[in-house]
């Protein structure tokens, strides 16, 4: 037998402040798949994100074992109907095994601010080249969000802000936000992800305010098609939530054909998965800063170090092999 496969199970502690929608994420849990074919090896991460993925880690693990059993028997990986996290992890492992994922990565992150804006100003002043930052909005008063956006645009020359409302606003709240962003500052917002509860309201908001928007949640909605519409400039692709590497590449291609920016973004993968996303982003979306500033939410790295990250590194050898064939 040329082929073999392993599933490692991991559980990594998170920083105490990590809240996903309604719940605190104490530990990040998931699987690392190792594929072997002769002397070639490939890794992938399967890590459903609570509150965002439909599947649980347990369900993903069961499906991965079934698909890996077929693969080890010499069949192709059947990913068309697989759970998104499973399709992503297995396809990435296969791509790496085949030598198809280029080594070079884009490790320039868009610093993420979910807390004190002053911390972000310091990070930005230390950032070489294009200054891109991501700020979560929609958690406090819309008026405060508008003032924070103004503050950044007024105080950091050339800043390109990415704001993310995660569908928190009613049309009225979104209007209140826009009212506080000075008209001459609206161009400093590269895009605002998903301002409103429905895509239709978000589109109307973009067209009324001249603030560009991006789709994130909408990309994962049933029947989504990439299309150029007034006010829409980008789509955010979170592979763990979207599916296979091939599906992500198709979305990137469609976005580019429509003149939209595609932004590869994290679903809080460990440093192993995050490194692969940085490589995938450099390969598929060259010149676009990916949304990968999530290492800071962990208390430990896994196997592959993330550049400049000082967190302790756990190796795969320290993990339980939960399954192998």
Residues in binding site for Mg(2+): 164, 193, 216
Query: Would you call 65 a catalytic residue per the annotation?
Result: no
Sign of the CA dihedral with 56 first, then 59, 63, and 68 last: positive
Contact 190/212 with Cβ under 8 angstroms?
yes
Q: What is the DSSP string of 112-124?
A: EESS-HHHHHHHH
Q: Which two tokens stand for residue 225?
A: 């098609």
199-218 mask for Mg ion (x: CB under 5 A)? -----------------x--
Is the CB of 111 or the CB of 146 nearer to ligand OSB?
111
All residues at 6 or more sequence positions from 232 whose CB lies less than 8 Å from its CB, including other chains: 203, 206, 212, 213, 214, 215, 260
267-296 mask for ligand OSB (x: CB under 6 A)? xx----------------------x--x--
Among 94, 96, 145, 193, binds Mg ion (CB under 5 A): 193
Query: What are the angstrom distances between the C-alpha of 277 and each of 44, 88, 268, 270, 318?
Result: 11, 11, 11, 11, 23
Q: Which of 136, 173, 227, 325 is catalytic?
A: 136
Give the binding range for ligand OSB (CB under 6 A) out of 82-90, 195-203, 204-212, 265-273: 265-273
Contact flag: residue 48 with ligand OSB (CB under 6 A): no
Size of the site for ligand OSB (CB under 6 A): 15
User: Which residue of this chain has its Cβ atom nearest to Mg ion in the complex?
Assistant: 216
Contact flag: residue 202 with ligand OSB (CB under 6 A): no
Is the CB of 45 or the CB of 164 nearer to ligand OSB?
164
- Residue 13's φ and ψ, nearest 5 degrees, are -70, 145
- Ranges assigned E (strand) in the chain: 3-13, 19-20, 23-24, 27-37, 40-46, 112-113, 132-136, 160-164, 189-193, 213-215, 232-237, 261-264, 301-302, 313-314, 320-324
Query: Would you call 136 a catalytic residue per the annotation?
Result: yes
Q: Which of 6, 134, 173, 238 is catalytic?
A: 238
Contact flag: residue 112 with ligand OSB (CB under 6 A): yes
The CB density around residue 258, as the number of other CB atoms within 10 Å, is 15
Residues in 136-175 that interact with Mg ion by CB under 5 A: 164, 166
Among 52, 107, 180, 224, binds ligand OSB (CB under 6 A): 52
Q: Which two tokens stand for residue 142?
A: 């819309």
Give the residue numbers of the binding site.
164, 193, 216
Report angle CA 50, 53, 58 to the nearest 5 degrees: 70
Contact flag: residue 216 with ligand OSB (CB under 6 A): yes
All residues at 6 or more sequence positions from 171 whose CB lies less than 8 Å from its CB, including other chains: 196, 201, 204, 205
Residue 12, binding choice from Mg ion, ligand OSB, none, Cβ under 5 to 8 Å by partner class: none
Residues in 120-139 that interact with ligand OSB by CB under 6 A: 134
Residues making contact with Mg ion (CB under 5 A): 164, 166, 193, 216
Query: Which residues belong to the active site?
Result: 136, 238
Chain contacts with ligand OSB (rule: CB under 6 A): 49, 52, 110, 112, 134, 164, 166, 216, 236, 265-268, 291, 294
């Amino acid at each position: 037998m040329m082929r073999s496969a392993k599933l490692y199970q991991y559980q990594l502690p998170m920083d105490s402040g990590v809240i996903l929608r309604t719940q605190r994420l104490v530990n990040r849990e998931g699987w690392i798949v190792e594929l072997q074919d002769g002397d070639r090896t490939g890794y992938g991460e399967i890590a459903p994100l609570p509150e965002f993925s439909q599947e649980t880690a347990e369900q993903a693990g069961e499906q991965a074992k079934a698909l890996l059993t077929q693969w080890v028997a010499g069949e192709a990986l059947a990913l068309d109907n697989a759970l998104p996290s499973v399709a992503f992890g297995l396809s990435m492992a296969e791509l790496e095994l085949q030598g198809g994922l280029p080594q070079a990565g884009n490790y320039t992150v868009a610093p993420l601010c979910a807390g004190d804006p002053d911390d972000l100003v310091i990070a930005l002043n230390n950032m070489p080249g294009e200054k891109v930052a991501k700020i979560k909005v929609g958690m406090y008063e819309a008026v405060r969000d508008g003032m924070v956006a103004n503050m950044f645009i007024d105080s950091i020359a050339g800043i390109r802000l990415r704001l993310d409302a995660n569908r928190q606003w009613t049309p009225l709240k979104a209007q209140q936000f826009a009212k506080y962003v000075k008209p001459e500052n609206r161009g400093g917002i590269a895009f605002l992800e998903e301002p409103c509860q429905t895509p239709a309201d978000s589109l109307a908001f973009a067209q009324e305010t001249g603030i560009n928007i991006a789709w994130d949640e909408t990309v994962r909605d049933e029947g989504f098609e990439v299309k150029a519409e007034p006010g829409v400039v980008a789509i955010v692709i979170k592979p763990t939530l979207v599916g296979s590497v091939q599906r992500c590449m198709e979305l990137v291609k469609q976005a580019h054909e429509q003149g939209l920016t595609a932004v590869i973004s994290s679903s809080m993968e460990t440093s192993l998965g995050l490194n692969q996303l940085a490589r995938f982003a450099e390969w598929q979306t060259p010149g676009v800063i990916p949304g990968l500033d999530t290492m800071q939410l962990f208390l430990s790295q896994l196997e592959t170090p993330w550049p400049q990250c000082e967190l302790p590194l756990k190796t795969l050898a320290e993990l339980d092999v939960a399954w192998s064939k």
